[in-house]
Amino acid sequence: MHILANTAIANLTTSYLWFALTFWVYLETENVMATGIIGGSFMLLIAVFSMLFGAIVDKHKKKSVFLFSAVFTAALFILAGLIYLWLPTESILNIGGWQFWLFCGVILVGAIVEQMRGIALSTTVTLLIPVERHANANGLVGTVQGIAFIATSVFSGLSIGLLGMGWTLLLAILLVIVSLVHLLTISLPEDEPEPEPEHSKTADLKMGFTTILAIPGLFALIIFSMFNNFIGGAYMALMDPYGLTIMSVEAWGIVFGVASTGFIVGGLLIAKFGLGKNPIRTLLMAVVVMGILGAIFTIREWVWLYVLGIWLYMVLIPAVEASEQTVIQKVVPFRRQGRVFGFAQMLEAAAAPITAFLIAPLAQYLIIPFMKTTEGDKTFGWLVGQGDARGIALIFLAAGLIMALVALLAMTSKQYRKLSEIFLQPETSLP
């Protein structure tokens, strides 16, 4: 519970500053492509470093990993604060200048290293919790992340709207220092990590991939999650611009925070009831419903529909994440789970920035302008209605339908049946 609480503070800190940076850049530049590049860069760097993070988690005690992440993130956020004081704001907001990329890059790297905690936390569940309670524990993890997510969305919008970027940076620095001090008081009952027969760095990085291939169907599950994130990149790039188009930054922050209570509800439901007999089936069914929701929650420019759609979407996210974690925690040996989680995170994170990089300029220069023309309104207005954000709504509609269709097709695959059979075996007979 201490680790969960500390992770909540760390997630709050990182997401608070990250959301605030996205809000600030969009409001100051009104450039959808800029926010898409920022969001895409975040996911791209996660993809680049996830395998390394996984190897680090497997080869070191989990508390050491938590401490390293906290210290590194604190140092980078402090550096970002110094850069903000040093450089003129106009230079930082010049997207074509090195100052913009230096400022955003420092915050990015600090936020990326904090993501190492997510891999460590998933393996800590295996370390501390009996296998029959993994799903419930993963639900609590989702709830804690949801609490931080909600507070972040509210605080970030209010912070940028009322205080500005400078005070936001200072608050983020204070929060990360608080999490570091609290972490020093926590002890974990863990032994030294079990060494692998091969000790080369290359072997360490390959171990996650070879372990996944050795378990039938696991690679297919991760590939499906990667594709799901590929579609989710459209939402990552355009959800904030849509919300900021139809309401003020303060209202959007509060509304998104209220809608995000669905994250807590979903996590608590899993903590109470688990994921059912077969978490893989639960995952795919949740994605089908998420796709349908994503297709219709912007079908008209109604704030209540957007908020309700996000809330229901958030209810399902913990089920998807907890299902994948629960499967990996059961079928993969503990000494290799960090690398497997890292490999999975690498593929899944790599998908979203590809979409974000493609969708952001496509939306900014083609789809949004087209939907503002008479021809665009005549062609698709009957479907998505009229308003300032109809181009984004059209993208969400297509992305959601594709997501739902692929999930339905996955349920008919041989890989789905094979992995389900392996998961349902007694733990002692697993490969």
* Predicted model pTM: 0.75
**pLDDT tens digit string along 201-221?**
566 667 777 888 778 888 888
Beta carbons of 299 and 394 less than 8 angstroms apart: no
Average pLDDT over residues 378-388: 80
Tell the burial category of 222 from Cβ atoms under 10 Å away from its Cβ (0-12, 13-18, 19+).
buried
- Helix/strand/coil (H/E/C) assignment for every residue in 190-208: CCCCCCCCCCCHHHHHHHH
Q: Could you tell me how many residues make up the chain? A: 431
Angstrom distance (rounded) from CA 372 to CA 310: 25
Query: Can you list the domains of the chain with their CATH numbers?
Result: 2-184+204-426 (1.20.1250.20)
The answer to whether 46 and 115 have CB atoms below 8 angstroms apart is: yes
E strand or H helix that includes residue 363: none
- Half-sphere CA count of 116, side-chain side, radius 13 A: 28
> How confident is the model over 68-89, as pLDDT tens digits?
999 999 999 999 999 999 988 8
User: Do 170 and 300 touch, CB atoms closer than 8 A?
Assistant: no
Q: Using CB atoms within 10 A of its CB, is residue 62 exposed (0-12), middle (13-18) or buried (19+)?
A: buried
Tokens of 95: 């997207």
CA–CA separation, 26 vs 19, rounded Å? Answer: 11
When pLDDT is averaged across residues 163-170 and rounded to a whole number, the result is 89
State whether residue 89 is helix, strand or coil. helix
Residue 339 · residue 51 · CB < 8 Å? yes
Comparing CA positions, the residue from 243, 146, 170, 162 lying closest to residue 17 is: 170
Contact 4, 141 (CB under 8 A): yes
The pLDDT of residue 219 is 83
Asked if residue 170 has pLDDT above 90, the reply is: yes
Residue 146 to residue 161: CA distance in whole angstroms: 23
pLDDT number for residue 71: 94
- Residues 270-281, mean pLDDT to the nearest whole number: 89
Indicate if the pLDDT at residue 188 is higher than 60: yes
Count CA atoms within 13 Å of residue 237 on its CB side.
33
